[in-house]
Every structure is written in structure tokens, then in C-alpha cells.
Amino acid sequence: MKFDLLIFDWDGTLMDSAGFISRCIQAACRDMELPVPSREEASHIIGLGLREALERVAPGLAPEQYPELVEHYRRHYLSQDEHLTLFEGAEALIHELHGRGHLMAVATGKARRGLDRVFGQTGLGEWFHASRTADETFSKPHPAMVEELLDELAIAPEKALMIGDTTHDLEMARNAGIASLAAGYGAHPPENLTALGALKVCTSFPELAQWLRENA
């Protein structure tokens, strides 16, 4: 194997949730009668920790009002999140890569409670050896998530690969000194990912899965 450790982002990479998250961000802003961001603007902050993401999308809000905006977002998200699904073939790919002997991890802008929730809903939690969330350490693109996973699993940077759908994922990988693979079918368009040094920008999940089978 070229890479001993595969670190996956979750939303927009393994789960087809980027569009839903964008709509929840828009709805939360609408609830508070704030300027509603475009889908592109809402998508751009996916992958960051929730509080940081909402501070970027609603920069004029008074600091004491952000908790209310967070709660509006969570209400919209939790009302329908059980209907979200993995990309077709994602579960099989995770099982296959695990069976080939890769160590597997998740680095996500979700909170721990949210990641544990989707681990339980999808049944994939048991296949990952470690994970980091935005409420446990520094948010992307800070390298802390990757660095902590490398330390926990005793993996050298050159033996790890970050797989994600946003510039935040790829910048985190670059900041941590590891290789990256871009999921250009998620939150950020492929043209925004090409300049960040990924080994490849994949435009569909099947393309990403095939690249991993042949090159990881």
C-alpha cells in the first residue's frame, strides 16, 4: 500500500449532504431575518466548525446572537437528517479499504455528537480506527486534526492521505504535510480545488473509489 492511513471528510465526501446543509444554513438566516446567502456562499463554509461557519456567513450579527443562529440551524438539520444517505458505493468502499488493511479515520467539521449520530445511523462507525471533530480540536484548515490522528495511530505524514470535498480539507492536508485527494462532486466546485495540490480532483464518487482502489 502507498498509504497506510486514509482520512476521510464526512459531509459531501462520503455522505450526500452538502446541498441539504446549505439549505439549512439559508433557512437559519431566514428565521432570524438576516441576509440569506446564496447556495454557493452557504456551500463555501461547509467543513468548518459550525460556530465559525455561521460567523462567516453572517458576519454582521452581534456575538450574543450566534447561539440563536446555531440553534435555528440545528433545528432545521435535525428535522430531516435521518433521510440523508451515503453516496452510492460508499459503504462498500469503506469495507473494501478496511479489508485491504488500511487504517481509516474521519476528520470533520461536525461536532462529536453529530458524528456519533451519523456513525450510528449508517453503521460505519466500527470501520474507522479514529476520528476528530471540530469541537474537539482546531477547525479546518488548521492541521491539528490530521496531526492528532497521525500521533494517535503512529503514522508518518508521507503514509497518510486526506480525502475531502472542500478547500478547507485540502488546505488542512497541505498544512499538515500530507497528500490529498479531492472529491470534486461535493460542497466546493472542482475549479476551486485544482490549485491546492491534490493528487487528483475526482468529479464523481465512482471515480474517487476507483482511484483509491488503484492508487492508495
The CATH number of residue 12's host domain is 3.40.50.1000
User: Which of 82, 103, 125 represents a domain boundary (last residue)?
Assistant: 82
Do residues 161 and 138 lie in contact, with contact meaning Cβ atoms separated by under 8 Å?
no
Pair 108, 192 in one domain: yes
CA-nearest of 127, 126, 164 to 145 is: 164
Give the model's pLDDT for residue 204: 97
Model pTM above 0.85 = yes
Number of domains making up the chain = 2
Burial of 88 by CB count in 10 Å (0-12 exposed, 13-18 middle, 19+ buried)?
exposed
Asked if 115 and 15 count as a contact pair (C-beta separation under 8 A), the reply is: no
Give the phi and the psi of residue 209 in degrees, each rounded to 5.
-60, -40
What span, in angstroms and rounded, lies between the C-alpha atoms of 111 and 133?
Answer: 5
The answer to whether 78 touches 121, Cβ cutoff 8 Å, is: no
* pLDDT value for 1: 81
Domain co-membership, 173 together with 137: yes
Measured distance CA(154)–CA(112) in Å, rounded:
22
Residue 9 to residue 4: CA distance in whole angstroms:
17
Query: Which pLDDT score, from 0 to 100, does residue 92 have?
Result: 97
Write down which residue in 45, 65, 82 finishes a domain: 82
70 and 142 in a single domain? The answer is no
Domain finish residue from 82, 98, 125: 82
Residues 67 and 114 in one domain: no
Q: What's the confidence (pLDDT) of residue 173?
A: 98
50 and 117, same domain (yes or no): no
Q: Quick one: pLDDT at residue 82?
A: 80
pLDDT value of position 177: 98
Give one DSSP letter per residue of the chain, joined into a string: ---SEEEE--BTTTBS-HHHHHHHHHHHHHHTTPPPPPHHHHHHTBTB-HHHHHHHHSTTS-GGGHHHHHHHHHHHHHTTGGG--BPTTHHHHHHHHHHTT-EEEEEESS-HHHHHHHHHHHT-GGG-SEEEETTTSPPTTSTHHHHHHHHHHT--GGGEEEEESSHHHHHHHHHHT-EEEEETTSSS-HHHHGGGT-S-EESSHHHHHHHHHHH-
What the block records as the C-alpha cell of 5 is 492511513
pLDDT of the chain along its 216 residues, tens only? Answer: 899 999 999 999 999 999 999 999 999 999 999 999 999 999 988 888 888 899 999 998 899 999 999 999 999 998 887 889 999 999 999 999 999 999 999 999 999 999 999 999 999 999 999 999 999 999 999 999 999 999 999 999 999 999 999 999 999 999 999 999 999 999 999 999 999 999 999 999 999 999 999 999
Nearby residues of 28 by Cβ (< 8 Å), 6 or more positions away? 54, 69, 72, 73, 76
pLDDT of residue 60: 85
76 and 171 housed in the same domain: no
Question: 180 and 89 in one domain?
Answer: yes
Q: Which three cell numbers stand for residue 60?
A: 454582521
What pLDDT is stored for residue 14 in this prediction?
A: 98
What residue numbers bound the domain in which 68 lies? 18-82
Are 153 and 48 members of one domain? no
Per-residue confidence (pLDDT) for residue 83, from 0 to 100: 83
98 & 165 share domain: yes
